[in-house]
Structure 1
């Protein structure tokens, strides 16, 4: 009697053949660099003359005060920028969705910063935050507030970076939240109107529960991106990490050790540490979000 086997797409030779180009690219540009970075973290010297040094690079990184400052700045940036940017984005996207008629125009306007070069935007913000002729200090003067040295002070460099980070993070959040709002069944709101529910009650009982998957996605992506912040620092402070490295972040520390100091082993050790931190934080965050959802 002829036997029939259950069809399985992943066991078809043609499927693996079609997947092979993508698998090769992922292996070359994602998997191999991960293993290469891990191997380099145990080496010392230049890239052309490497020698095994064990855990010395990790000891150097973990006892480096500059790395401690970079990780502290990165944590402050992540835990302030991500919630604030998400809340502002939620408010703006809700107003666009509910109150504004020409939604396409405003969606395009808010999406422009996302497709614009961070370096180009950084140049504009350097002008805005300039202590001598910047527009922000000029506006503060109307309220009798003295000018702030936004870019050239150790006490304000992280604050300036946070402001820039919040602004640059709005565009992506707004577009994704608007997509999430469109996916909510409008019948829910019609029924709520029939029973006399206010807009706030509809937002609390209908909109937010329906947006939880979207907000969860944005929290995960934004936190990972915040821990990897680099372009904003480079653009805002003209290729440096602020005065006395006061705005240094983990990725900027890695860049400085690899390209400026020429110590790839130290840079890769810091990379592995940052990778582990992001991995642990993402795992804990997903666990907490699942508990909230349940």
Structure 2
């Protein structure tokens, strides 16, 4: 047994070294840098000054607020739409492989490329969205250049971009449900609505819990969508500033890596706390 343990550690060693080097050490390094000030090439210890700075910085709180609003709006809405679409494809359409491929294509497409397309869709003068709104005699707002609509545009973009992954995972979960449940339900004359609420949804709870966890963590780390949609900025007057964009701005643009790492640590703890609460909630729902 001891011999096998030694061999197991030997086989695990390369993976453990890579995980330590590229995952664990960066977390430790970020934590240490959060207590340092000065430029990246000449950092020195400055105690809690970086944390004091971010906690009184209104831009940091706005970034956290925007990130939280995005996460708690985009993730549930996208998940509900994904469940509805996956159930419709699974129950009503015969050749599901084609539709799965079509839905999954945006997931493997560059977010920057999709963001460029969405910039044209949201354009206030000649965008497709305003063209459709005009056709039904509705107001045509300036989606990207109106600070009050920047976060709304980002949420719409985020919902659309997360559907692909969700639908493919849900389709896999739907295929794993024992078909005998539906056979028995049909024998007793259950309606489609009853089959969904009493059979399908309870069977999907573990998958929904997984998707919620992954999507919430991804939503709190949103950066590429902001960069792509607003052409390298965080919206007009930083109206779509998110936590990771704030970190990027402080590290790369302003040149204060210590402040950026302090914000990183706070964001990490915040994600950890929200994920813990979400997992506890899903366990109660599952039980």
Match of 1:290 in 2: 283
> Closer, same or farther in 2 for the Cα pair 1:137/1:257, shift >3 Å?
same
Structure 2 counterpart of 1:181: 174
Residue from 223, 231, 243 that aligns with 2:224:
231
C-alpha distance after superposition, 1:227-284 (max 9, x if no partner): 1111100000000000000000000000000001110000000000000000111111
Asked if 1:31 is matched to 2:36, the reply is no
Question: Shift of residue 293 of structure 1?
Answer: 1.3
Instruction: Determine if the alignment matches structure 1 residue 197 to structure 2 residue 190.
Output: yes
Measured in 2, the distance between the counterparts of 1:203 and 1:224 equals 28
- Which consecutive unaligned segments of at least 5 residues does structure 1 have? 1-6
1:237-276 matched pairs, under 5 angstroms: 237-276=230-269
Q: Are 1:147 and 2:140 an aligned pair?
A: yes
Show CA shifts across 1:180-231 (max 9, x none).
0011000110011111111111111110111000000000111111111111
Moved over 2 A (4+): none
Give the Cα–Cα distance (whole angstroms) in 1 for the partners of residues 89 and 260 of structure 2: 44
**Partner residue in 1 for 2:161:** 168
Question: What's the counterpart of residue 63 of structure 1?
Answer: 56
Q: 2-side partners of 1:8 and 1:283: how far apart?
A: 36
* Distance in 2 separating the partners of 1:287 and 1:208: 19
Instruction: Provide the TM-score with structure 1 as the length reference.
Output: 0.96
What is the SS of the residue equivalent to 1:156? helix
Give the Cα separation in 2 of the matches to 1:240 and 1:159.
16
Q: TM-score, normalised by structure 2?
A: 0.98
SS of the equivalent of 1:155 reads: helix
| Mapped partners of 1:37, 1:260: distance in 2 | 18
Classify the secondary structure of the residue corresponding to 2:60. Answer: helix
Task: Give the Å deviation of 1:8.
Answer: 7.2
Counterpart-to-counterpart distance in 1, 2:203 and 2:95: 24
The root-mean-square deviation of aligned C-alpha atoms, in Å, is 1.0
Unaligned regions of 5+ residues in structure 2, if any? none
Q: 2:127: which partner in 1?
A: 134
